[in-house]
Structure 1
Amino acid sequence: MANKVWFITGVSSGFGRVLAEEVVRNGDKVIGTVRQHRQLDEFNAIAEGKAFAYMMDVTNPDGVKATVEAAIKHLGRIEVLVNNAGFGFLGAVEEASVKEFREVMETNFFGALQVTQAVLPHMRRQGSGHIVQMSSVAGFRSTQGFGVYNASKFALEGMSEALAQEVAPLGIKVSIIEPGPFRTNFAGSSIKAAQQEMPEYESTARVFKNTILGYAGQQEGDPVKAAQVLLQVVDNENPPLRLPLGQTAYNAVRNKLQQVEQDLKNWESIATQTSFDD
């Protein structure tokens, strides 16, 4: 379908910005959300009459609802929602405060949830739509030193997997995208770290933190190619529920599946002996 209307959160930079550029290059229109006034004109300049920036903070429910309503009033519809806004967080589970956990969850999970709930009534009325949740390979497989971020993306994936089943009869599709390392600002300005650092985690969480920060700008993934894959996903009649992006992510998902399968085999005789005897 030509000339779709996309609603993408977090388009000031990184993957969201690259995706928006590819969307308009593909002939579609895009509504992109930013958090600073100076970013409005910059985004609108991508393609006059095809790119429209709106100020929105995904953690503000009233603002989310108002922005979605304004977008619908402006362009009449939203065919594709991409929940892209979010940030990374480094630190061992014990190092991170509950406050820090909540801040990550507010944006990465509750933010995406609020935008999804605001857009769904419009998609239901249309009888069609595609919700794309930008998760991460970290939303499928956990890593030492990344537990806070893992928790937010695991929550997003759990909610989205149920959502996909609920909205399928309504003509709405859901896809969970799981990128590995891509050359965006994720490992730079889009990542935070626990204020507390404990020496007990020098050989685990700290090693991962240094690895992530050390390869900023050197990641294997090309965000333009990732955006082009996402366009193919949205255009497909039978899109995947989950799609890892990049060889690193693909290998990580396969390795976890093999580990889970091995645990099932090793413990089947014990795990299945829990029913009443009668």
Structure 2
Amino acid sequence: MSNIWLITGSARGLGRDITEAALAAGNNVVATARDVTRLADLESRYPGQIRSFALDVTDANAARASVDFTIATFGRLDVLVNNAGFGHVSPFEQTEEADFRSQIDTNLYGVINLTRAAIPAMRAQRSGHIINISSIGGRTATAGLSAYQAAKWAVGGFTEVLALELAPFGVKVISVEPGGMRTDWGYAAVADAPALMPDYEPTVGAVLGMLKAYAGNAIGDPRKVADVIVDLTKHDTLPAHLILGSDALYVFGQAEAVRQRAAKEWAPVSTSIDIEGVDLSFLSGAMQS
């Protein structure tokens, strides 16, 4: 049985690969982009299966309109893929306020806007998948990516909460967290980097150098990632987070080890503020995995 998909950021990069994979699997897709002319070839190759919709994900009204269009066109909405996003590498001190806000608006509020619009329909039909394309940067830290990673960390927390809230009526929510992929993300991230203050050369400068060398040579294949995304919609049980890529697993493992060591070292301080005789049994019903 085919599903009805709504995908943001469909014109390029991973979003394009997800759109093609969903169509190749026989699904119907509303593909969104700021410039929908870049989707014309897919409309020719998959007549009747795909409709394009011009969308700025930061516009909540437009997000609602895209969901309404999907349901009016295909009758329902089964899969929402929140893919649109971008990042710029710059020290926080040197990041213009407008750029910082734009990254938060796209990477976080874009997800919020589309999800808010989609939930009522999925709740009513008692089914659906919301797939948030995040990054391993949503659970690790990289110098120079303060805006991008702040948004992605927030997407991870947002996803976990929604997974708990929506599970009782059959809606699955997952944050997909890839490492490096052979898309144009890396090129765009470093394209407009400012001339660094000397103090940031050892940190942000090192990241810029790494990304410039890594762009186009990442180990992740976006077509394989897209195939994983399509396969996720066939599962009734999903984790709140899914790391993709050996590089992502390695970076995550290193970050977790640092956190665990710090938590153990500072545990006496953490518990020192408790009222004597505290009973934690009240947490057993409030915390769910």
TM-score (norm 2): 0.91
Counterpart CA distance in 1 for 2:275 and 2:186 is 51
Deviation of 1:209 (Å): 1.4
Paired position in structure 1 for 2:88: 89
Tell me whether 1:10 sits opposite 2:9 in the alignment: yes
SS at match of 2:173: strand
Whichever structure has more helix as a proportion of its residues is 2
Residue identity matched to 2:174: S
Deviation per CA, 1:118-153, whole angstroms, max 9, x where unpaired? 111110111111100000000110111222211111
Partners in 2 of 1:73 and 1:7 — Cα distance?
13
Aligned-partner Cα distance in 1 for 2:192–2:262: 32
* 1:178-228, Cα deviation, whole Å (9 max, x unpaired): 010000111124666454632210111011012112322111111111111
| Whole-angstrom CA distance in 1 between matches of 2:269 and 2:192 | 40
- Residue 49 of structure 1 aligns to a residue whose secondary structure is coil
Instruction: State the partner residue of 1:233.
Output: 232
Q: Which amino acid letter does the alignment assign opposite residue 109 of structure 1?
A: L
Structure 2 counterpart SS, 1:188? helix
Q: Go from structure 1 to structure 2 and tell me whether the alpha carbon gap of 1:268 and 1:173 turns closer, same or farther (over 3 Å shift).
A: same
Structure 2 CA distance for aligned equivalents of residues 46 and 59 of structure 1: 29
The answer on whether the counterparts of 2:60 and 2:113 sit within 8 Å (CA) in structure 1 is yes
Aligned to 1:223: 222
Alpha-carbon spacing, 1:191–1:173, altered in 2? closer, same or farther (3 Å): farther
| Residue in structure 2 matched with residue 249 of structure 1 by the alignment | 248
Aligned pairs for 1:24-173 within 5 A = 24-173=23-172
**Which aligned runs of 4 or more in structure 1 are off by greater than 4 angstroms?**
190-196
Aligned partner of residue 187 in structure 1, secondary structure: helix
Which consecutive unaligned segments of at least 5 residues does structure 2 have? Answer: 278-289
What are the Cα deviations for residues 136-173 of structure 1, in whole angstroms up to 9, with x where unaligned?
Answer: 00011011122221111111112111111111112111
8 Å CA contact 2:100, 2:147 repeated in 1: yes
Paired residues in the alignment total 277
Structure-2 residue corresponding to 1:261:
260
Q: CA RMSD in A?
A: 1.6
Moved more, 76-85 or 182-191: 182-191
Residues 92-115 of structure 1: CA deviation (Å, up to 9, x unaligned): 121212222111001100111101
Amino acid corresponding to residue 66 of structure 1 in structure 2: A
Instruction: Using the TM superposition, give the Cα deviation of residue 46 of structure 1 relative to its aligned residue in structure 2, in angstroms.
Output: 3.8
Identity of aligned residues (%): 34
